[in-house]
Structure 1
Amino acid sequence: MKLNAIFTLIVMGLLINISGCSVYMAANQPDGKEMSMIIEGQPRSVMLGEFGQPISTVKRADGSVEYDVFSFVDGYSGGAKAGRALFHGVADLFTCGLWEVVATPVEAVADGSRMSYKILYSEQEEVVTIIPLSKDAQKYERRRTNGLAGNSHTTNTSHKKTADSKYRAPK
């Protein structure tokens, strides 16, 4: 009887230690960004507030910012992270921890989208041109513009032309 209780405690302790990797990983994925902020006419200060400091900034002779290059990870909302963590926890319980074999690699791969943009500003530091640089950003822009932002077989130059014509503010 005593040996049976000790064995049960050991097994439960192992299950608690085994389960949790995917739960922890899901709960600590990067936060989502408000991608709808990337629109023409948006002040540079709003861009900085949502996406953080750019990795590169080029200024004009008068000191105003000509363009920024932003690079960030667009992750998940709090609800999505909580839902994924809860699902992994329940799946761990029902499979006695075997779910971790599947869930941990999934959470390692599903860690958000790497987004890179070149954002050009007017002299008043408002967005006038949006150029998606990374593949994830280009995919996002195609979805957002219903395919009007070019296709994946075009070069960066043609993306710039498409982005310039699509997002340039009227003069």
Structure 2
Amino acid sequence: MYKAFCGIGLAACLIFTSGCSVVMVSKQPTKKNTQMIQQGISRNMVVAEFGAPVTSEYKNGKRYEIYTFTQGYSTASKIGRAFWHGAADVATVGLWELIGTPAETVFNGKKMSYELVFDEKDQLESYQHLIMETPN
């Protein structure tokens, strides 16, 4: 009887933990194209890539905005990691999740912030990289 309960408990643990790292990889943020930040680019292009600014104010006829986002991972990187986690789950009968899930908790992107200054035509005049840190 004891062995049956242990077997059921082990099976339940494997079922409920299997695939968590794969799901975590799929929910990671996507990579933003920071190379597009160049003088002369339109504000609309910036908003399309990074989303709405955190702050926006006018000073001396110019628009000063701060954009903050989590820099994620490329699609190829995410697919490769998900495949690896899935294969490791199958090969270890779910035990890989004891390593894979905490590992994916660490790989959740880097927070980045930029201050962008747009002229009266909403063209990027200047920019400054403010923050790039790893969250605690």
TM-score range, shorter chain: 0.7 to 0.9
Contact 2:41 2:123 in 1 (8 A): yes
1: CA distance, partners of 2:112 / 2:79: 23
1:121 aligned partner = 118
When Rg is computed on C-alpha atoms for both structures, the one with the higher figure is 1
Do residues 43 (structure 1) and 58 (structure 2) align? Answer: no
2: CA distance, partners of 1:135 / 1:14: 38
Match 1:88 to one of 66, 85, 95: 85
1:164 aligned partner = none
Q: Please say which of residues 48-57 and 95-104 is displaced more in the overlay.
A: 95-104
Contact 2:71 2:112 in 1 (8 A): yes
Deviation at 1:28, TM superposition (A): 1.1
Contact 2:14 2:95 in 1 (8 A): no
Deviation at 1:12, TM superposition (A): 5.8
Aligned residues between the structures: 128
Do residues 109 (structure 1) and 110 (structure 2) align? Answer: no
1:100 aligned partner = 97
Contact 1:28 1:81 in 2 (8 A): no
1: CA distance, partners of 2:67 / 2:10: 48
2:69 aligned partner = 72
TM-score under structure 2 length normalisation: 0.82
Do residues 19 (structure 1) and 18 (structure 2) align? Answer: yes
Deviations 1:96-136 (A, max 9, x none): 22211211111111111111000011222211211111134
Deviation at 1:60, TM superposition (A): 3.8
2: CA distance, partners of 1:122 / 1:14: 58
Deviation at 1:73, TM superposition (A): 0.9
Deviation at 1:49, TM superposition (A): 0.9
What secondary structure sits across from 1:134 in the alignment? strand
Contact 2:53 2:65 in 1 (8 A): yes
Contact 2:110 2:132 in 1 (8 A): no
What secondary structure sits across from 2:32 in the alignment? coil
Deviation at 1:52, TM superposition (A): 0.6
Q: Which has the higher contact order (CA 8 A, sep 6+)?
A: 2
What secondary structure sits across from 1:17 in the alignment? helix
Q: Which ranges in structure 2 are unaligned for 5 or more consecutive residues?
A: 1-6
TM-score under structure 1 length normalisation: 0.66
Kindly, what percent of the aligned residue pairs are identical?
Answer: 37
Contact 1:41 1:128 in 2 (8 A): yes
Deviations 1:63-100 (A, max 9, x none): xx521100011112222212211110111111222211
